[in-house]
Structure 1
Amino acid sequence: MDPFLTLLNAFSSSLSEPELAALKFLCRGEVTKRKLESVQSGRDLFGFLLEQQLIASDKVSFLEELLKNIKREDLVSQLKQFVEEGGVTAPDDQPDVHEKRLQKAAIEIICDNVGRDWKMLMRKLDVSEVKLERIVAANPFNLHEQLLQSLREWQKWKGREAKVADLIKALRACNMNLVADKVENKVLQLNTGTR
């Protein structure tokens, strides 16, 4: 699989509707109006930019300018990392199947039990303020979704290093011991159930 396409696909998934609308507007001089009208996702737009050879794995300046214009510095830094490393993080950077199952259960418990103090938890997990603000802006009136998206962002960022033990440690550091206990109990159930 082409690492550049994987990167563009990841970018597409993280774009909000207003960000996609802004990108379409910025591409008006490069992509025909008819094509822009048919764009429903970042993937569609990136596909047209690839076709017109405005972007490629070795030609990212146009894409970088677009991302800077919509204030997505997080994506700009991922793009720069891609260029520096000559590729993106491989699938083997993902947690194993068992750890993913534990994370899924832990995240469900955290989302159901952590309330307005969710940002404190995310800060303990070292998720950046910029990412938190973007998630809040994308889900302004949905606390549950804000927390869920933040935890997913943490998982993506940490990759293989994302561990349920880190979630429990962060919960305890925030004095959310009841939630930490619930997560530990669920992990224990899942671990004894798999043996």
Structure 2
Amino acid sequence: MTSKSSAYTKALQSLGGISGSDFGSWKNLCRDDIRRTTLESIRNPLELIEELEQKNIVGEDNVRPLIKMMKALGRLSEAEILADYEKKWALTESNQQSEYDRLLLRINDALEDSELDNIKFLCRNYTGFTKDKRGKMTSCRDVFTGLEQALLLDKNETSTLKDLMKQINRLDLCRHVDKYEQKYNSKSEPFSSGQQVSDLSDEFDIIVRHIGKNWRQYARRLKLVEADIDHIMVKHPYDLMEQSRESLKIWQQRNSSNATREVLISTLRKCEFNYIADVMEGKIVD
């Protein structure tokens, strides 16, 4: 009978044939997690995987980052092999929900009353966190429920939680959130064969370069809600370009194969951002 370890190794071996420009692009996708000098010394896919394992980015219980990378490279057959492994051996949705609940309970139990007051103050500008409602929040679990209702926290989105822990200087609890995110690759979607996600990085670059403070109007047209916009502004308070890019990432993650270049262009025109649409269509040289 095949063991989990051998099944994992076999799934990784399917990536061993990636070479040339695809391998270069794959290394480029890892640049935020692996130092440039280390990346330059990596000669083949198996060495790259080993480096990702050493940094706890991937492992037997978490191949989701590799699935995401293969999809980005257009290597759908490799992504499907990894997805098949994940379905049979890796962590399930119920596992993730249970661990998410344990994470919130651990944080709730670890925080003092004074820290709860600080957290409620930090949340004062979030949707639903009125003065009256904050006054009725007697535990961090109440705050977490409020964040979930404001769409700022769930098992796939824990960045707001981590930011709050950083702001009250509870770096020990930040590490717990980090460990959870590494295990479950927060915000990523499971691979579905036949469902292709377009590479819209060039289109995103054009929009981010030109849209400026109008990104919120555009985001609303793309069906993002006010809680999304509030969260983005809190996450990137002084950087318009990062705010607009984050909104586009959220839109793409939620719409998957329906997130297309054509939708971006038609929505730009609905907002009368015709110059940006013309640049994207090549009618104007940027």
Matched, 1:117 2:259: no
Q: How far does the alpha carbon of each residue in 1:95-141 deviate from its partner, in whole angstroms, 9 at most, with x for none?
A: 63xxx565111000000011111111111110111011101011111
* Selected match of 1:4 from 65, 68, 93: 93
* Selected match of 1:169 from 252, 266, 278: 266
* Percent of matched pairs sharing the same residue: 23
Using a 3 Å threshold, how does the CA distance of structure 1 residues 94 and 114 change in structure 2: closer, same or farther?
A: farther
Aligned 8 A contact 2:198 2:259 in 1? no
Q: Distance in 2 between matches of 1:40 and 1:131?
A: 25
- What TM-score comes out, normalization by structure 2 length? 0.39
Q: Distance in 2 between matches of 1:6 and 1:166?
A: 35
Alignment coverage as a number of residue pairs: 132
Matched, 1:40 2:175: yes
Aligned 8 A contact 1:116 1:143 in 2? yes
* Selected match of 1:128 from 225, 236, 249: 225
Q: Could you say which residue in structure 1 is the equivalent of 2:243?
A: 146
Residue pairs, 1:6-155, within 5 angstroms = 14-16=157-159, 19-20=161-162, 37=172, 39-40=174-175, 42-44=177-179, 90-92=190-192, 96=196, 102-155=199-252
Aligned 8 A contact 2:221 2:267 in 1? yes
Max Rg structure: 2
- Greater helix proportion: 1
- What TM-score comes out, normalization by structure 1 length? 0.55
Look up the equivalent residue of 1:137 and give its one-letter code: V
Q: Distance in 1 between matches of 2:177 and 2:194?
A: 24
Using a 3 Å threshold, how does the CA distance of structure 1 residues 153 and 21 change in structure 2: closer, same or farther?
A: closer
Using a 3 Å threshold, how does the CA distance of structure 1 residues 94 and 121 change in structure 2: closer, same or farther?
A: farther
Q: How far does the alpha carbon of each residue in 1:135-171 deviate from its partner, in whole angstroms, 9 at most, with x for none?
A: 1011111000000001000011111111111100110
Q: Distance in 2 between matches of 1:144 and 1:40?
A: 28
Q: Could you say which residue in structure 2 is the equivalent of 1:70?
A: none
Q: Could you say which residue in structure 2 is the equivalent of 1:178?
A: 275
- Which secondary structure does the structure 2 equivalent of 1:126 belong to? coil
